[in-house]
């Protein structure tokens, strides 16, 4: 009979404005691979972060090896033999593998019995042995910055093993790996299970769970939906449970009336700063009066796709045309002029100058135009009037009116300000990137209504979202992006949530 090593009972964790975990109870058995599955924002990371002592639960209890524990720090979690590999690796990039691993636990020797120094030889030896035992294929003397992502991940695993962790937590371990690397990663964790470790795996990739996990907990909006026995459950069933809940509300919407093609991407490719091809030869076109929605799991090339169309990064191949004009190499400003509005995902660092007043943020993308300046001198009256116009028409609330420093406004109102600014340009193309992330329900509804309204005005709308509800709610055409390629494009009515879920996981039939 399986023996529980970790038990979480009635865990509730609240953050301002949201309940991240709502009365979640689960237990993990010694020596199993336990997966936690859920959409973005379902509360997976929060749940396991509490196990690693990064947060403390507001309610509920955690038992480790049958004993009630208050895990108040990662340090204490380490003492309990719990280790975690975070999404962002925590390595010193100009140190060697060994130096990183022993950091904080350096084996000491004394020179002439007096001067302490780090016994790096012994450490190198120990780590080589450890690497050998778990088949991790890591040279302890390599410097981190020369290693690829998969090797760095293995260093993180070694770090946990060196600290004699028995319960290993992985937060989205495969998000940054290539398919081949994923394959070998899965072999590694199976090997770890074979040597008696317990593994908790956070992911939203179903095929990985199917391949290695023993059991799987499904979370949705903070609530535990079910705990499944993986071998006896189909991936379709898991996908349905993960995303297939009743849609909580819908946006009223008339049938779309497509007009001419506005945006056309042909074999467009984009490289990310590290040279990896994040968008691979993608082709699609968007018509006037169409909401073209791109669904996909985070980090499959969505950011690069949106930035490349808006001109913030350049394409490494292919062609983009806007209303028949080739804009592949046009500057950001040319694209604004040509009629591409963009609501970026990062509203704090990209969409707004946070330390500007609200008034100064409104004309951020058009301050140079005749309306707002003459011969290089800003037109104060136009700034004021435009600010008043947007604030009234788009219901943007701020403490001190237009003189409010944007930083001090709520996230919802900041987003309203960006959307107001972009929509008000009445451009033929509007790109919405994750427009409702972090907003409350009322604001979400409002944004979706605006998306539909823009479509009805005749704009071509590119909506990129991680939220499947949003996609189902707004889209006329749905494209699914997986690993930088669009794996499926179909009219919204032809795809069910389950279909999309499968394409998002890369397990759907190829288009």
Rule CB under 8 A: say whether 431 interacts with other proteins. Answer: no
CA atoms within 13 A on the CB side of 32: 21
Among 380, 395, 456, 494, binds other proteins (CB under 8 A): 380
162 vs 342, which CB is nearer to other proteins?
342
Interface residues for other proteins in 13-52 (CB under 8 A)? none
How many whole angstroms separate alpha carbon 329 and alpha carbon 202? 40
Going along 58-214, which residue ranges are E strands?
A: 59-64, 67-69, 82-85, 108-111, 115-118, 167-171, 198-203
Q: What is the largest CA-CA distance in the chain?
A: 85
Exposed e or buried b per residue across 187-225, where buried means at least 16 C-beta atoms within 10 angstroms of its C-beta: ebbeebbeeebbbbbbbbbbebbbebbbbbbbbbbbbbb
Q: Convert residues 267-306 into a mask of x (bound to other proteins by CB under 8 A) and - (unbound).
A: ----------------------------------------
Taking a C-beta distance cutoff of 8 angstroms, is the pair 157, 170 a contact? Answer: no
How many whole angstroms separate alpha carbon 266 and alpha carbon 486? 12
- Tokens for 242? 């993960």
Least Å from the CB of residue 438 to other proteins: 17
Among 120, 312, 338, 445, binds other proteins (CB under 8 A): 312
105 vs 403, which CB is nearer to other proteins?
403
Rule CB under 8 A: say whether 356 interacts with other proteins. Answer: yes
Rule CB under 8 A: say whether 330 interacts with other proteins. Answer: no
Among 29, 373, 483, 485, binds other proteins (CB under 8 A): 373
Rule CB under 8 A: say whether 381 interacts with other proteins. Answer: no
Instruction: Quote the DSSP letter at residue 405.
Output: B
Among 102, 297, 352, 443, binds other proteins (CB under 8 A): 352
Q: Convert residues 76-115 into a mask of x (bound to other proteins by CB under 8 A) and - (unbound).
A: ----------------------------------------
Taking a C-beta distance cutoff of 8 angstroms, is the pair 463, 456 a contact? Answer: no
Q: Distances in Å between the alpha carbon of 182 and those of 173, 344, 395, 410? A: 9, 30, 47, 39
Least Å from the CB of residue 360 to other proteins: 7
Which helix (H) or strand (E) element contains residue 216? Answer: strand 215-220
Rule CB under 8 A: say whether 408 interacts with other proteins. Answer: yes
Least Å from the CB of residue 402 to other proteins: 15
How many whole angstroms separate alpha carbon 390 and alpha carbon 395? 8
Segment interacting with other proteins, rule: CB under 8 A, options 119-127, 157-165, 344-352, 451-459: 344-352
Least Å from the CB of residue 344 to other proteins: 6
- The gap between the terminal CA atoms of the chain, to the nearest Å, is 45
Rule CB under 8 A: say whether 376 interacts with other proteins. Answer: yes
Among 175, 364, 445, 490, binds other proteins (CB under 8 A): 364
Please give the residue ranges that form the binding site for other proteins (CB under 8 A).
310, 312, 331-333, 335-336, 342, 344, 346, 349-356, 360, 364-365, 367-368, 373, 376-378, 380, 405, 407-408
């Amino acid at each position: 009979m399986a023996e529980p090593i970790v038990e979480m009972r009635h865990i509730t964790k609240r953050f301002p404005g949201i309940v991240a975990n709502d009365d979640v109870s689960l237990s993990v058995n010694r020596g199993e691979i336990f997966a936690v599955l859920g959409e973005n924002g379902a509360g997976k990371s929060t749940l396991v972060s509490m196990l690693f002592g990064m947060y403390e639960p507001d309610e509920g209890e955690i038992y480790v090896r049958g004993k009630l524990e208050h895990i108040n720090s990662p340090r204490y979690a380490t003492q309990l033999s719990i280790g975690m590999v975070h999404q962002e690796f925590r390595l010193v990039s100009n140190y060697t593998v060994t130096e990183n691993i022993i950091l904080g636990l350096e084996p000491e020797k004394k020179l002439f019995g007096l001067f302490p120094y780090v016994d790096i030889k012994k450490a190198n030896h120990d780590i080589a042995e450890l690497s050998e035992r778990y088949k991790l294929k890591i040279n302890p003397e390599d410097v981190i910055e020369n290693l690829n992502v998969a090797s760095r991940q293995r260093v993180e695993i070694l770090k946990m093993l060196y600290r004699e962790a028995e319960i290993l937590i992985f937060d989205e371990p495969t998000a940054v790996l290539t398919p081949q690397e994923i394959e070998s990663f899965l072999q590694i964790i199976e090997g770890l299970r074979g040597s008696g470790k317990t593994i908790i795996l956070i992911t939203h990739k179903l095929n990985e769970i199917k391949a290695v996990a023993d059991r799987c907990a499904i979370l949705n909006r903070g609530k535990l939906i079910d705990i499944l026995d993986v071998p006896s459950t189909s991936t379709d069933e898991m996908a349905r449970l993960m995303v297939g809940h009743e849609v909580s509300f819908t946006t009223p919407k008339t049938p779309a009336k497509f007009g001419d093609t506005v945006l056309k991407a042909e074999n467009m490719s984009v490289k990310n700063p590290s040279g990896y091809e994040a968008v691979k030869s993608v082709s699609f076109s968007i018509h006037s009066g169409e909401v073209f929605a791109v669904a996909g799991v985070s980090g499959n090339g969505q950011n690069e796709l949106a930035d490349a169309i808006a001109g913030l990064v350049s394409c490494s191949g292919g062609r983009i045309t806007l209303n028949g004009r080739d804009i592949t190499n046009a500057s950001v400003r040319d694209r604004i002029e040509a009629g591409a509005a963009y609501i970026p995902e990062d509203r704090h660092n990209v969409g707004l100058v946070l330390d500007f007043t609200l008034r100064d943020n409104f004309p951020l993308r058009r301050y140079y135009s005749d309306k707002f300046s003459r011969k290089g001198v800003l037109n104060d009256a136009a700034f004021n009037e435009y600010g008043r116009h947007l604030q009234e028409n788009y219901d943007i609330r701020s403490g001190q009116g237009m003189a409010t420093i944007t930083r001090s406004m709520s996230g919802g109102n900041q987003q309203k300000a960006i959307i107001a600014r972009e929509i008000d340009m009445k451009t033929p193309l509007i790109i919405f990137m994750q427009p409702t992330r972090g907003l409350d329900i009322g604001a979400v509804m409002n944004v979706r209504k605006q998306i539909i309204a823009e479509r009805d005005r005749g704009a071509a709308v590119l909506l990129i979202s991680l939220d499947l509800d949003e996609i189902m709610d707004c889209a006329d055409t749905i494209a699914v992006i997986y690993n930088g390629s669009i794996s499926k494009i179909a009219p919204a009515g032809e795809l069910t949530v389950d279909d999309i879920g499968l394409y998002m996981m890369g397990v759907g039939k190829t288009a």
